[in-house]
Structure 1
Amino acid sequence: MADPSKENIEYECEQCGTTSELTPIITYVYQGEERHICTHCLPTLIHG
């Protein structure tokens, strides 16, 4: 069951701008900075 004390944070893909309301968003760390990318754009991140 969801914890009602937690805020519902909406993340945005850094590549295409879609939000976590529409597409699953993955959080990763690059050069010490936390970043977010959607599952649609993930292959671009992996394969360049």
Structure 2
Amino acid sequence: MADIKKEAPEMECDHCGTTSELAPMLTYAHQGEEKHVCTRCLPMLIHG
């Protein structure tokens, strides 16, 4: 069988606007809404 590469949807950090092409991205839910944060902004999200 041929390996078919699935393209991941482009995600953008809700804090700084960087994309998943430039930095690893994490997805979280807040107030029922799905959001994305890059690993550079994660400490700000955790510590306020």
TM-score for the superposition, normalised by structure 2: 0.84
Report how many aligned residue pairs link the two structures. Answer: 46
Indicate the residue corresponding to 1:37 in structure 2. 37
Q: CA RMSD in A?
A: 1.5
Structure 1 portions without partners, runs of 5+: none
Q: List per-residue Cα deviations over 1:11-41 (Å, max 9, x = no partner).
A: 0001100000010000000010000000000
Structure 2 portions without partners, runs of 5+: none
Larger-gyration structure (1/2): 2
Q: Equivalent pairs: percent with the same residue?
A: 65
Q: How does 1:16-31 map to 2 (within 5 A)?
A: 16-31=16-31
